[in-house]
Amino acid sequence: MNGMTLAGLKGKVAVVTGAGRMRSIGRPIAVQLAEAGCDVVLTGTGRAPENYPQDEKDAGWHDIASVAEEVRAAGARALELVNNVADPADVDRLVRTTLAEFGRVDFVVNNAGAARGSDRVPVVDLDIADWHKVLNVNLNGTFYMSRAFGKALIAQGEGGAIVNISSIAGKLLPPNTAAYAASKAGIQALTASMAQEVGRYGIRVNAICPGIIDTYRMDDIDRGEAWQQLIKTRIPLQRAGTGDDIAAIVLFLLSEQGNWITGQSYNVDGGTVVQH
């Protein structure tokens, strides 16, 4: 990272879920953590290569294995694991494997999220299966991870930090996004409650609420005129965000410079949302 040097990251072990996409939030978080001196556990869903976006196919991308290579190139250790955050047993295995491989855990970044899809409809038209899929990955997955790794951090007795990736949708609560918005609002509630419970152990819990980020998740919007109009009308700073924008505040919240911040849900959105 350029500029201010963040303290308290070197030699730590971080877990980053949903870290396998080339154009994403998880990848830059993992790489910037490695550049700051953290060893990194990377999880993904084990996507079939035929389902990769075309740019990933063209680049010869290999999901979390490719991100692990970047982590190692930064001089850190990496462990890539296919893991389903919506399965509590799988999450418990992730904790055990992390501790067996690295002997400790310090930071958890809950970034895994359900893809945009057929859930973006009015509530009366929302398929129950779509509701459960979004809630299971976004909210339940964050709960399972926070619960399991929270226990490990408490037992370790050396503090630590959890950052949950939420969304401004959890504050805006827009129409045709009931499942997604409910899941993200739930993450913010989970963050606030847990922070008050584990602060006595020196564990901090915060959430980031990204706005419009130029990643694969937004590929249902063509990057032409419609995209430019969205940016012009929705973002006061007149540009879409990047994964690096989100990674920067994640690292700050994990660092010693952020060690008196907990229970917060920060909008990182170019000014789209000003309410808290």
**What residues are annotated to the active site?**
180
Query: What is the chain's length?
Result: 276
* Token code pair at residue 153: 């951090």
Distances (CA, A) of 105 to 12, 65, 101, 184, 238: 7, 21, 10, 25, 38
DSSP for 135-162, please give it.
IIIIIIHHHHHHHHHHHHHHHHTS-EEE
Contacts of 220 (CB under 8 A, 6+ apart): 116
Torsion-angle region of 241 (φ positive above 0: left; ψ -120 to 50: alpha; else: beta) = beta
CA distances 228 to 24, 49, 108, 173, 233, Å, are 19, 30, 34, 23, 9
Please state, in angstroms and rounded to a whole number, the distance separating the CA atoms of residues 165 and 265. 9
216: phi then psi, degrees, rounded to nearest 5: -60, -25
HEC string of 4-70 equals CCCCCCCCCEEEECCCCCCCCCHHHHHHHHHHCCCEEEEEECCCCHHHCCHHHHHHCCCCHHHHHHH
39-44 and 13-16: which strand pairing? parallel
Residue 210, beta-bridge partner list? 268
The CA-CA-CA angle for residues 132, 215, 105, to 5°, reads 70
